[in-house]
Amino acid sequence: MEANNTLASDQAGASLFMMYGDAGYSFGIIWPAVLINFIGIPGQIMNFFVVYVTIKNRKRLYNRCNYLLAMLSFFEFFHQSGHLVALFVALKGLNFIPYMTSVCLQLHAMFGLHASQLTYTCIALDRLLSTALPAL
């Protein structure tokens, strides 16, 4: 029974590929990519300026949290740039791209996503310790 379900899902995936693989531009794919980038591009610009201002004023910033926030902005810049890749693919009219091409195009965004989550955790621990143990 399980083999039949797997076969049916493979056939459904193949039929989706056959139906939409060379369909060209699709409003249902382009619209979400445009919307995400409409929000994300100003965020990328602001993240760049957070890193720039932190580097420019590094002698005046004595707190660890400032550097952690700059690291977070740096990693989020990479994460948000993955949305530009999705927009590029959607605007080219490609509904499916090969796996290795997708991995190569999205690897930096995945690195930025996971590094930003780790940086969020470090910021949370830093803020917790700075409020719980202010004498340190």
pLDDT at 8 over 80: no
pLDDT band at 14 (very low <50, low <70, confident <90, very high): low
pLDDT band at 125 (very low <50, low <70, confident <90, very high): very high
Q: How far apart are CA 2 and CA 132, in angstroms?
A: 54
**pLDDT over 70 percentage in the chain:** 85
If phi over 0 gives left and psi between -120 and 50 gives alpha, with beta otherwise, what is residue 97?
A: beta
pLDDT at 9 over 70: no
Q: How far apart are CA 118 and CA 104, in angstroms?
A: 22
What average pLDDT score do residues 115-135 get?
92
Whether 69 maps to a domain, the answer reads yes
pLDDT at 27: 83
The domain of 26 spans 21-132
pLDDT at 3: 52
Question: How many structural domains comprise the chain?
Answer: 1
Whether residue 120 contacts residue 72, with contact meaning beta carbons closer than 8 Å, is answered with yes
Q: Which two tokens stand for residue 75?
A: 């990693």
Least confident span in 76-80, 99-103, 131-135: 131-135
| Top-confidence residue, 27 or 77 | 77
Q: Which two tokens stand for residue 52?
A: 């720039």
Whether 54 maps to a domain, the answer reads yes
Whether 3 maps to a domain, the answer reads no
**Would you give the DSSP letter of residue 22?**
T
Q: How far apart are CA 127 and CA 29, in angstroms?
A: 40
Whether 8 maps to a domain, the answer reads no
Whether residue 80 contacts residue 42, with contact meaning beta carbons closer than 8 Å, is answered with no
